[in-house]
Amino acid sequence: MTARRLPDGGSWIDRSRPLTFRFDGEEYEGFEGDTLASALLANDVTGGFRSPILGRPRGIMTAGPEEPNAFVEVSQPWFDPIVAATMVELVDGLVAEPRAGVGRLPSTRVPSRRAEHRHISVETLVVGGGLSGRTAASAAASRGDRVVLVDERHRMNDAPDDVIGLPRTTALGIYDDGYVIALESTPELERLWHVRADHVVLATGATERPIAFAGNDRPGVMLSTAAAVYRRHFGVKVDEAPALITTNDVGLVARAMVMDGGPEEGPVINFQIDPISDELPTDGSLLVSGGFNPNLTLWRAIGGTVEYHRRFACFVPGKGPPWLKVAGMANGEHIPDCAPVWYVDGERTTAFVDLQRDQTVADIADALDAGLTSVEHVKRATYIGTAIDQGRTSGVLTAAIVNQMLGTGPDAQGPTSARPPAVPVPYTTIAGPDRGDLLDPIRRTRIHPWHEEHSAVFEDVGQWKRPRYFPRTGEDMDAAVARECLAVRSAAGVLDASTLGKIEVIGPDAAAFLDRMYTNRMSTLAVGSIRYGFMLGLDGMVADDGVAMRLADDRFFVTTTTGNAAMVLDRFEEWLQTEWPELHVYCTSVTEQWADVAIAGPKARDVLGALGTDLDLSPGAFPFMTFRDGAVAGIAARVARVSFTGELSYEILVDGRRALELWEALLRAGNAIGITPYGTEAMHALRAEKGFVIVGQDTDGTVTPDDLGMGWIVRKDDSDFIGRRSLRRADTSRSDRKQLVGLLSDHLLPEGAQLVEEDTGRTPMATIGHVTSSYRSPSLDRPIALAMVARGRQRHGQTILAPLPGSTIAADVVSPVFYDPEGARHDG
Amino acid sequence: MCAVRYWRAAEPKTTYEVVIVGGGGHGLATAYSLAKRHGITDVCVVEKGWLAGGNMARNTTIIRSNYLWEESAAIYEHSLKLWEGLEEELGVDVEFSPRGVLNLAHDLGEVRSSMRRVHANRLNGVDAEWLTPEDVAAFCPLINISPSLRYPVLGATLQRRGGTARHDKVAWAYATRASELGVDIVEHAEVTGFLRGPGGRVEGVSTSRGEIRGAKVALAAAGHTSELAAMVGLRLPLQSHPLQALVSALYEPILDCVVMSNKVHVYVSQADKGELVMGAGIDAYNGYAQRGSFHVIEEQLAAAVELFAIFAHAKLLRTWGGIVDVCPDASPIVGWSGIDGLFLNCGWGTGGFKATPAAGWAYAETIATGEPSELVRPFSLERFTTGALIDEHGAAAVAH
Ligand SMILES: Cc1cc2nc3c(=O)[nH]c(=O)nc-3n(C[C@H](O)[C@H](O)[C@H](O)COP(=O)(O)OP(=O)(O)OC[C@H]3O[C@@H](n4cnc5c(N)ncnc54)[C@H](O)[C@@H]3O)c2cc1C
């Protein structure tokens, strides 16, 4: 047998453009338009491949994505660890090596193709650029539809007028309501298309299937239509006079085409005439046609049903979603009559069903002998259909062999479920542009550039970058945090609080709505005042906290924790839209619009005064938990008197675009008193000294307001709020619940350390709680911690233990308020 | 010649002592345990499709026991101990591979809750270690610990005894052994209703293959439990969501442990055949179609190639979805349903494969004795009335 390129012919190749490539260390020539497979056949390279498990010699068997044998690693001009040679478009300088089913992922950088994503919305998407696909596309276009036509081959006959034709594009998966993902793969790039179409037409054709007979995996065995494709489109003749084994007339036609109508030679086994045959050629070129399977992967992936067609011996489409149509061979049109032969009995251990998994008729028989009866179980016992070709040639064959061996009808069981993607796709292509910093949006405050210039160390809080501390030369974190804390306690510090979630809640029912969302009453809040509030889950557990400012009777400005801003807005909308559509309330996120700078410390008022403001800052005129609109440093501002540090403190909210200007003005105005920027770490330590909780750190979704010693925040009247019913459950009122306490110890307790009454040294050890927050308190100059401890409030004065690997730390239970328990300092 | 023989395909009798609805891992392990430990062999497992074709066939097989709360640690640790002896117990190599499970932390909040879990695990007798980023790289050199990652690795918990097993082999081994002990396994029989007796007592099921009576009926239907419960007028605190998983093409071995990251939704191990097995995130919407959304896969693979530069050229081969039944506290419900004759095992959500041996063990005991096994007593349906929830969102999230 000798394969060769004929002197002319080949509708897909351009003989004026010769290309050089390397395969398995040898240099060859091909033409533009070739696939690696066609170019190899043109050079009489018919074998050279091995099977993955048994290591049997294998050759090119197909001309498309169903190829089970001829796998290569491509290393130039791009890298691909494993791909069928039939799917590699030949380019100049291509370098490939055979690969036996298993790829090697490179640990060094290798040449890659660009990956990008595109979205398109059309009226009609046609998958498959054959005759029926093009006809369907033209018909849709002439109706006035915007039409996309995709075809996996790199050569597609010209798309009809007014149709967007995408060659080299494979529809990978089909999702509800005409949403199709497709991969366009060119030598330069890989582009993932998200197509949304009102109508989808699958003109995906049919794939020829092999027959299982002894030795059917040897090089030289090829699907009959593949040989015809090589002849017709690539001008490659696989053999002068190949043998044929067929169940249908297309096999005969294909062989005639390969032989250019030449004299009939060589053995032909036609099961349509001669149902039993024993003389299968064991070498040389052998064309096989076991019949045709409509390509219904996409159809079945979206729940389309299939029916067995006896005359064609294949599964054809049944019912599917209304927006999806199947056309041409995929729909069972032009499929030849078939005298089905699935396997030719003989030596079963070399009669291969799934060549890429090296699975044979004998393996199927074994699985059935062991008691399995379902094709799905046979697949799982043998792994048939799970290789790179995803069972394109083995799926229907396996089901038919199972049916035949079990003596059930040919339609008893069909092939196993088809799953996306239709062809393997590189991870990077699916990731597309979402790489590096674009993996998730990075949110930076308007003051961020200043933080960077002043060597802030950042932490990720949700999507935000927040300064954690601002180390000076030679300072470690502890030193920087201590300096920042002490500055706040003795003079003033400034914190960029812009990341706090901010939502405006507007409408005649805004107050009533917030009453239902928070445990305390927001409707009694006076305009100009602020109230701290808790939001609970349906289970009665603390979900988020923040403050509400009443801007007007029908208008509130509420804040959320940085990480929960989106969750809180979602929750507002969910309740408004699904449960209380009668409420007239609009919620708008204004997190990005307002920057927020907190100035805290005994000198805060002086600094603000020095900065220049038209607000009367005297405590009488501007008391704690109120806000005022005015100008600060000439910038329109909303100034709120709230405090998360326990010190006199103002939060200054301004238009984000003026935030940096405000920040710098504050620093200048406070320069004389040593104003100090502080980060989240100092903020956390300062609030812990005051026993203020952080939702999500001191709480974990199992903590009620009362557990935190904040029962006062839950209103006791009969009006409803989210979580109220759960607060009355037996467990929520248990007397041995964990409660927030303070802990004093000689050594710093690790956060997360478990607490016990008695260190038994044995596991499981009964625990009574855990450390939620722990700091070396700069103001008290000693370690302090917050903890949730069973019956904690009754334990004040007791000593409990934190058993750690190698040591145990004793801690005294105290009130969680370590600093300024009278709360004298927030007025300055 | 073939050494293995699997379960016998049974024709259903008219009456059994126990009818188990759902032939997934949990239903089969329960049947086995009823027969083996409690001598109750007059048992029928009714499965609507082919055996163990639900979540049992779809999960990413991660096994670990490092849950936060004592109640959870107790049952998952019991399960892990059963996994460690399962090959001997069932006489089948179920490919249990304790290759170590890493849970990565990517922000300070995650570090804090991971440390807490390590401390809690240790006192609960569950092996747990905290690894610094450098330790992470030493344990699994493929992981990119560069601080310049969008969400850099700040550390990880490691449970060395955790790992994976071959799901089909587990299910088939339970089925085969149960079948040998006399349990009837009836496939392709969908339960469409319940037979009710005096006082509404459940006395059996109607199926597409006829009525099957049972003195006790035990649900083990995972994602479809709420549909079944609705047939007896029971509303359960369950939400069913699609959860997806995927595998790559086959690659030479590169990854010899399990890596999980909640923050960026990456869960990955490499199967012996060579494919990278990855779990994706949960779809936010409720549904019963075993089909998830593609954007979930996009987000997951984007995160995966950041964490593992070597995955850049790996190729996605197959994706699929299962329907997971999730409780509000991310813990299961096991025990009496409140209706005479009907028992519940559900709510295992995204993480019930690892629990298969213990769930079967404890559910069988509960069915056999009518009293909750100590392991599942805290996981009663009643907890949603009393409020004694076992909140494992921190440990479970979408993590399997
Ligand atoms: C993608 C994915 C990844 C996962 N990864 C992990 C993991 O890594 N680790 C882990 O521990 N867990 C994981 N899980 C969860 C785990 O798979 C499940 O918690 C567990 O399998 C559920 O128990 P089961 O095996 O009995 O369920 P299933 O196998 O789903 O069994 C339920 C059975 O009930 C049958 N049934 C339903 N309705 C009826 C009816 N009306 N009549 C008769 N039969 C019925 C179903 O057909 C099904 O076979 C994952 C789940 C998914 C979907």
Of all helices (H) and strands (E), which one includes residue A637?
strand A635-640
A157 versus A753: which is more confidently predicted? A753
Highest mean pLDDT among A47-51, A524-528, B387-391: A524-528
Q: What pLDDT sits at residue A826?
A: 86
Percent of chain A residues past pLDDT 70, beyond the cut: 99
Of all helices (H) and strands (E), which one includes residue A477?
helix A477-490
> Is A724 a residue whose pLDDT tops 70?
yes
Instruction: Please tell me the residue having the least CA distance from ligand 1 atom 2.
Output: B59
Distance from the CA of B350 to the center of ligand 1, in angstroms?
Answer: 9
Average pLDDT over residues A379-392: 92
Residues 6 or more apart whose CB falls under 8 angstroms from that of A446 comprise A498, A595, A656, A657, A659, A660
pLDDT, one tens digit per residue, over A561-609 is 999 999 999 999 999 999 999 999 999 999 999 999 999 999 999 999 9
Distance from the CA of B321 to the center of ligand 1, in angstroms?
Answer: 11
Q: B53 in ligand 1 pocket by Cβ < 6 Å?
A: yes
Burial of A120 (0-12, 13-18, 19+ CB in 10 A): middle
Q: What pLDDT sits at residue B399?
A: 44
A470-475: long-range pairs with CB below 8 Å, 24+: A470/A677, A470/A678, A470/A679
Report the atom number in ligand 1 closest to the C-alpha of B51.
Answer: 49
Q: B58 in ligand 1 pocket by Cβ < 6 Å?
A: yes
- φ and ψ at residue B200, rounded to 5 degrees: 80, 5
What is the secondary structure of A180-222 as a DSSP string?
EEEEEE-SSEEEEEEEEEEEEEE---EEE---B-BTTTSTTEE
Rounded-to-10 torsion of CA A618, A624, A630, A636: 130
Sketch the domain layout of chain A as residue ranges.
Answer: 4-98, 113-208+291-341, 342-414, 501-589, 735-814
The two structure tokens encoding residue B388: 């004694």
Of all helices (H) and strands (E), which one includes residue A485?
helix A477-490
Q: What pLDDT sits at residue A275?
A: 65
> Is A559 a residue whose pLDDT tops 60?
yes
Secondary-structure percent of chain A, ordered helix, strand, coil, rounded to 5: 25, 30, 45
The mean-pLDDT minimum among A410-414, A545-549, B187-191 falls in: A410-414
> What is the spatial distance between Cα A600 and Cα A149, in angstroms, rounded to a whole number?
64
Q: Can you tell me whether residue A736 is helix, strand or coil? A: coil
The mean-pLDDT minimum among A214-223, A409-418, B145-154 falls in: A409-418
Whether residues A729 and B385 touch (CB distance < 8 A) is answered with: yes
Average pLDDT over residues B159-168: 98
Measured CA to CA in angstroms, residue B25 lies from A242, A485, B51, B357, B397 at distances of 51, 56, 9, 8, 22
Average pLDDT over residues B292-303: 94
CATH code of domain B98-161+239-326 = 3.30.9.10
Sketch the domain layout of chain B as residue ranges.
Answer: 15-59+167-237+328-386, 98-161+239-326
Residues in chain B: 400
pLDDT band at A46 (very low <50, low <70, confident <90, very high): confident
* A343 DSSP 8-state letter: B
> Is A172 a residue whose pLDDT tops 50?
yes
Provide, as residue numbers in chain A, all residues whose Cβ is less than 8 Å from the Cβ of B389. Answer: 539, 702, 731
Q: What pLDDT sits at residue B235?
A: 96
> What is the spatial distance between Cα B24 and Cα A329, in angstroms, rounded to a whole number?
38
The two structure tokens encoding residue A606: 């002086």
What is the secondary structure of B268-333 as a DSSP string?
EEE-TTSEEEEEEEEPSS---SS---HHHHHHHHHHHHHH-GGGGG-EEEEEEEEEEEE-TTS--E
Q: B36 in ligand 1 pocket by Cβ < 6 Å?
A: no
* A580 DSSP 8-state letter: -
* B235 DSSP 8-state letter: P
Residues 6 or more apart whose CB falls under 8 angstroms from that of A505 comprise A513, A514, A555, A556, A557, A558, A572, A585, A586, A587
Distance from the CA of B395 to the center of ligand 1, in angstroms?
Answer: 20
What is the secondary structure of A793-807 as a DSSP string?
GGGTT-EEEEEETTE
Measured CA to CA in angstroms, residue A588 lies from A545, A552, A566, A568, B194 at distances of 18, 16, 11, 11, 49
Whether residues B115 and A750 touch (CB distance < 8 A) is answered with: yes
What is the secondary structure of A79-140 as a DSSP string?
-EEEEEGGGPBP-TTEEEEE--S-B---SS-----EEEEEEEEEEEEEE--SHHHHHHHHHH
Architecture of the domain made up of A4-98: Roll (3.10)
Q: Can you tell me whether residue A741 is helix, strand or coil? A: strand
Tokens 């993996």 locate to A439
> What is the spatial distance between Cα A685 and Cα A645, in angstroms, rounded to a whole number?
9
pLDDT, one tens digit per residue, over A321-361 is 999 999 999 999 999 999 999 999 889 999 999 999 999 99
Query: Looking at this protein, which amino acid is placed at residue A793?
Result: R
> Is A276 a residue whose pLDDT tops 70?
no
> What is the spatial distance between Cα A744 and Cα B267, in angstroms, rounded to a whole number?
40
Report the atom number in ligand 1 closest to the C-alpha of B353.
Answer: 11
**Directed axis angle between helix A224-234 and helix A249-258, to 10°?**
40
Q: Can you tell me whether residue B204 is helix, strand or coil? A: strand
- Of B5, B9, B317, nearest to A424 by CB-CB distance is B317
Q: What's A666-680 look like in SS3?
A: HHHHHHHHCCEECCH
> What is the spatial distance between Cα B314 and Cα A339, in angstroms, rounded to a whole number?
41
- Do domains B15-59+167-237+328-386 and B98-161+239-326 share one topology? The answer is no
CATH code of domain A735-814 = 2.40.30.110
Average pLDDT over residues A46-63: 94
> Is B397 a residue whose pLDDT tops 50?
no
State which fold the B15-59+167-237+328-386 domain adopts.
Answer: FAD/NAD(P)-binding domain (3.50.50)
8 A C-beta contact, residue B107 and residue B263: yes
End-to-end CA distance of chain A: 98
Q: What pLDDT sits at residue A161?
A: 82
Whether residues A303 and B289 touch (CB distance < 8 A) is answered with: yes
pLDDT, one tens digit per residue, over A667-721 is 999 999 999 999 999 999 999 999 999 999 999 999 999 999 999 999 999 999 9
Q: What pLDDT sits at residue B264?
A: 84
> Is B323 a residue whose pLDDT tops 90?
yes
Whether chain A has a CB inside 8 Å of the CB on B305: the answer is yes
> Is A418 a residue whose pLDDT tops 90?
no
Provide, as residue numbers in chain A, all residues whose Cβ is less than 8 Å from the Cβ of B103. Answer: none
Average pLDDT of chain B to the nearest whole number: 95
Average pLDDT over residues B359-363: 98
pLDDT band at A746 (very low <50, low <70, confident <90, very high): very high
CA-wise closest residue to A595 among A488, A449, A470: A449
> Is A157 a residue whose pLDDT tops 80?
no
* A577 DSSP 8-state letter: I
Average pLDDT of chain A to the nearest whole number: 95
Q: What pLDDT sits at residue A139?
A: 96
Q: What's the pTM?
A: 0.95
> Is A116 a residue whose pLDDT tops 70?
yes
> What is the spatial distance between Cα A62 and Cα A225, in angstroms, rounded to a whole number?
8
- For domain A501-589, give the CATH superfamily: Aminomethyltransferase beta-barrel domains (3.30.70.1400)
Q: What pLDDT sits at residue B34?
A: 98
- φ and ψ at residue B72, rounded to 5 degrees: -75, -45
pLDDT band at A267 (very low <50, low <70, confident <90, very high): confident
Residues 6 or more apart whose CB falls under 8 angstroms from that of A398 comprise A353, A354, A364, A375, A378, A379, A384, A385, A391, A415, A416
Q: Can you tell me whether residue A453 is helix, strand or coil? A: helix
* B28 DSSP 8-state letter: H
Average pLDDT over residues A471-498: 98
> What is the spatial distance between Cα A802 and Cα B7, in angstroms, rounded to a whole number?
52
Instruction: Please tell me the residue having the least CA distance from ligand 1 atom 48.
Output: B54
Burial code of B5-25, b = ≥16 C-beta within 10 A, e = fewer? Answer: ebbebeebeeebbbbbbbbbb
Measured CA to CA in angstroms, residue A88 lies from A310, B291, B319 at distances of 36, 31, 23
Q: B277 in ligand 1 pocket by Cβ < 6 Å?
A: no
Of all helices (H) and strands (E), which one includes residue A576?
none
- Of B7, B107, B318, nearest to A459 by CB-CB distance is B107
8 A C-beta contact, residue A147 and residue A162: yes
- Class of the CATH domain delimited by A113-208+291-341: alpha beta
> Is B398 a residue whose pLDDT tops 60?
no
- For domain A342-414, give the CATH superfamily: BFD-like [2Fe-2S]-binding domain (1.10.10.1100)
- Of B50, B151, B387, nearest to A374 by CB-CB distance is B50
Tokens 């040294």 locate to A761
B265 versus A122: which is more confidently predicted? A122
> Is B163 a residue whose pLDDT tops 80?
yes
Q: What pLDDT sits at residue B1?
A: 36
User: Above 0.90 for ipTM, yes or no?
Assistant: yes
Percent of chain B residues past pLDDT 90, beyond the cut: 92
Whether residues A751 and B115 touch (CB distance < 8 A) is answered with: yes
Measured CA to CA in angstroms, residue A414 lies from A204, A290, A293, A577, B5 at distances of 19, 16, 12, 45, 24
Of all helices (H) and strands (E), which one includes residue A548?
strand A542-552
> Is A59 a residue whose pLDDT tops 80?
yes
> Is A789 a residue whose pLDDT tops 90?
yes
* A575 DSSP 8-state letter: I
Q: What pLDDT sits at residue A55?
A: 96
What is the secondary structure of B124-136 as a DSSP string?
TT---EEE-HHHH
Average pLDDT over residues B194-223: 97
> What is the spatial distance between Cα A806 and Cα A811, in angstroms, rounded to a whole number?
17
> What is the spatial distance between Cα A533 and Cα A545, in angstroms, rounded to a whole number?
6
Q: Which residue of A has its CA nearest to B328?
A: A539
> CA angle B190-A373-B25, nearest 5°?
55
